[in-house]
Amino acid sequence: MAQFEKEFRYLCRQINSLSNGQAHASYDNIFNHSNSSARTSISSSSSESDEPTSSLGFHIEITPQDGPYAHGSYIFRIEASTDGDYPEYPPIVSCLTRIYHPNIDTTYQNYYNNVCVSTVNEWNDGTNSTLEDILQGLMFLFHSPNLDDPLTSNITSDEKEFLKYVRISIEGGLIEDFDQVDIFEMNYGYKRYLMEQEKQYIEEGEQLDDHLVNILTREPNYKELFNADTLEFLMNTTSITHSTRHNKETFTNS
């Protein structure tokens, strides 16, 4: 597995420039170091999947800065068998974060080998294919999801409706008939982004817009997420009175 480790070390050195600051990689399971708010939107344990135990892998977290999935964060596990067949055979790519995406199937709590990415499908025996190609393929999926060739039939083919559902899945809400767990909890990366935004607003003494307040206060435990100054600021914002409903009607109207 020397080639796998060599490519991983190279990827770690170059990943910031390769992803324009939108990704980072670690041998450690990023999930294990995520805070409690992150764990609500990530697979609870890889041991619950069919993941093989004889493998060498690492994790990549991608946080798109723009596009349909802007400011959401998603964790992937990239692994190769320790039997020594890398790079002859492509690595297995698994998304551990629940997502609404035509080419990533996390429906029904499927968190193993659930990503359809061209750089894996077109793997060239390691001759011209590397872990860097895997990263580029994943980045491409977030900016150009392929609705014409979906991995799961649960995704709408209507582009306008699709974009609406993507935002619901990130901001938290209900997507009818998606899978047996219809309500998406707010994506942990997006929650982190909002907390950074509200901190900046308060430091600059600016008024939060209604949409941001609505999202910030949508979580039932939102009072536990922010400091005293933030809560006072939010409580003095008039729109808070109509933004704290956390039920099916609110999700449907989001």
Query: Which amino acid would we find at residue 49?
Result: S
Concatenate the DSSP letters of all residues of 14-79 into one string: HHHHHTTTSEEEESS-GGGGS-HHHHTTB-S-GGGTT--SSEEEEEEEE--SSSTTTT--EEEEEE
Q: Is 156 helix (H, G, I), strand (E, B) or coil?
A: coil
Decide if 116 is catalytic.
Answer: yes
Cα separation, 4 vs 1, whole angstroms: 5
Please state whether the peptide bond connecting residue 90 to the residue before it is cis, i.e. omega within 30 degrees of 0. Answer: no
H-helix segments, 106-227: 118-121, 131-143, 159-171, 188-203, 210-216
Q: Are 72 and 106 in contact (CB under 8 A)?
A: no
Number of H helices, E strands in the chain: 9, 6
CA-CA distance, 52 to 46, in Å (whole number)?
10
Return the structure tokens found at 66.
């723009």
Give me the phi and psi of 107, to 5 degrees please: -65, 150
How deeply is 220 buried, as exposed, middle or buried, from its count of CB atoms within 10 A (0-12, 13-18, 19+)? exposed
Which residue among the candidates 96, 104, 116, 170 is catalytic per the annotation?
A: 116
Instruction: Count other C-beta atoms under 10 Å from residue 204's C-beta.
Output: 7
Active site residues: 116
